[in-house]
Structures are given as structure tokens and as C-alpha cells.
Amino acid sequence: MRPIFKKNSLDRRFRKGAAAVEFAVIAPLIVLIVTAIIEITSAIYMRQSLTIAAYEGARVALLPKSSVSNVIAASNRILDSRRIKGATVSVLPSNFQTAKFGDPIQVEVKAPLEKNGFFYRFFSIKQSFTTSVAMMKEF
């Protein structure tokens, strides 16, 4: 029995060309989406790292005989281990050793996106993430 519809070799050649054109149209879009996902996840990682650094700094600030330099060093250890560049750490109040029981001690960590993301440099995004953690003086 003979098939009713016979595929022509000419049709297959045109179909291969159509697949190449479809791939050429879709490939840049896929690359853009994957790149955006990578940048968004790295920004989330950076923000979480800043929060952890601020938390660790605040924990050190609660210790007896702790100083501002100890707090900044503890936060910078976390930032360095997570490869966060250009971050600044500030402690309020700066003389927290004289704070009374129940007074808040706040550690703020700020880092620019431009120095910590690959594609943020190319688009000159001047934004930065800022996180802070406040804990009560206990001693």
C-alpha cells in the first residue's frame, strides 16, 4: 500500500532552516533570562550576607568590654568570607559601652551593587543595599 502523503526532501530542508531561525530568535532571550536570574540571586545573596554581618556585629557589641573596632572586625570577617566588596559598617551609638540595660545598639552595614555584581558595572547602577540589626544592651 502506498502512503497518501509523502514527505518531500525539499520540505525537510526548509524545516531545518526554520529551526535555525527560531533558535536565532529565542537564544538571546534565553541568555537574557538566565543572566537576569543569576544577577537577582547574587543580589539576594549579597543582601542576606549584609544581614548576617550586621547580626554578628551586633552580637559582638553586646559582649562586655567590646569596642567599636571589635564590632567592625566581626562584621568585616563575614563580609570578607562572602566576598562582599566596598561595604561600610557603622555602630550606633558609638559609645555603646556606657549604654544602660535595655538601650538599643544598632549595627548598620551598607554595600554598593556596582562593586558586587558583574552586570551592574556595565549599566552604572549606583544603588546600594543597607541592612541594620538592633539589639538590646543586656549587661
Write the pLDDT tens digit of every residue in 106-133.
999 999 988 887 776 666 667 889 999 9
What is the domain range of residue 78? 9-136
| Pairing assessment for the beta strands 88-92 and 104-112 based on DSSP bridges | antiparallel
The answer as to whether 3 is a domain residue is: no
Does residue 114 fall inside a structural domain?
A: yes
Q: Is residue 127 part of a domain?
A: yes
What CATH number does the domain containing 82 carry?
A: 3.30.1300
In a domain? residue 1:
no
Q: Is residue 76 part of a domain?
A: yes
Q: pLDDT digits over 35-50, tens only?
A: 889 888 988 999 999 9
Number of structural domains found in the chain:
1
